[in-house]
Amino acid sequence: MDFELTEEQRAFAQTARDFAHAEFAPHAAHWDEEGIFPKEAIAKAGELGFCGLYAPEAAGGLALPRLDATLVFEEMAAVDPSTTAFITIHNMATWMLGTWATPAVRDHWGPLLTTGEKLASYCLTEPGAGSDAASLKTRAELVGNEYVINGSKAFISGAGSTDVLVLMARSSAAGDAQSGASGISAFAVPADAPGISYGKKEQKMGWNSQPTRTISFDNVRIPADHLLGREGEGFKIAMKGLDGGRINIATCSVGAAQGALNAAQQYMQDRKQFGKPIASFQALQFKLADMATELVAARQMVRLAASKLDAGARDASTYCAMAKRFATDAGFTVINDALQLHGGYGYIREYPLERLLRDARVHQILEGTNEIMRVIIARRMLDGDATEVIR
């Protein structure tokens, strides 16, 4: 068991760190304040391969292990969790399209998405189907050589500003409206197809550098070859995507917590009270020690889950849920503690802490709430061999 990164992995992480400090750091606060979706900066990330990190090579991706992808996402999230989180969602959708699309669809969209020239959104959640994703109602009816899509999606990152939608819908050939997960299929839908409309841009607590909107589908027609995989495989594809997505969002929390820890350590050395740096107060030293310990534990949990997913382990989904639950909770706590160490300065926008806190809060909700993560973990732990498997 080797916890050390290779020289190649360290170099890749350093490239991501340098990129984030050059392209994100000078602008992240402005993007947040003005609600700017930085497509040009994302395209620059694409030039480095960061928009297709684990997408298959046949689609133009780098086909890297998920572990290596976490190194890139963590470094970028330490500077700008919001923009980085969108890039992780784009990576997930790009991987899904690159893995399950027909050759014609893959060959068209793959190179555009993996380079960041075009962007993708992931469309699973609906107004009445959040944690219970298998109850979604959007339908795709096969009519001749086309699918006709009707329904709506909610809380879609990038909606209205992206180019292709990886959509989960209930397809008639896969089952009726009562068939649950087995009746769901996946599709690649051009975001500007006739019949698609976008709701208002949601005003959010954080993640302000990426737009979030509802999407409505009114008799939207797409060619039949835009089906991803086979009829009825959509829910399985969605869940496979979410295993990686949960690692990605957990990594964004680890990165944001690292950024907060960096700021707290520097502030403790610079800030003086009662005639000496606050770093000399043992109570604050203990707080910093706890923050560092929680951060390291979260990072290793995420990397363990990524390694399990890379290895195709039987319990990879359980470990992904564990990593998502632990890292997003621990990361938020570390950021909150870093803000507290800054006192009143942590609460104002001159410092990055309040932005990191706002951006990280949603990580405990999306890609499956942390309550749902506990359900996934508990179900596995109630199996007879579970306590031995996790040793």
pLDDT in tens, 12-36: 999 999 999 999 999 999 999 999 9
Report pTM. 0.96
State the Cα angle at 364 between 367 and 27, rounded to 5°.
90
Q: For residue 367, how many other CB atoms are within 10 A of its CB?
A: 30
Just list the catalytic residues. 367
Strands 196-198 and 146-157: unpaired
pLDDT in tens, 185-239: 999 999 999 999 999 999 999 999 999 999 999 999 999 999 999 999 999 999 9
Spatial separation of the C-alpha atoms in residues 263 and 257, rounded to whole Å: 10
Instruction: For residue 207, give every residue at least 6 positions away whose Cβ sits within 8 Å of its Cβ, in sequence order, or none.
Output: 81, 82, 85, 86, 157, 359, 362
The confidence score (pLDDT) of residue 391 equals: 80
Mean pLDDT by 10 residues, the chain (391 residues): 89 97 98 98 98 98 98 98 98 98 98 98 93 92 97 98 98 62 95 98 98 98 98 95 97 98 97 95 97 98 97 96 98 98 96 97 96 96 86 80
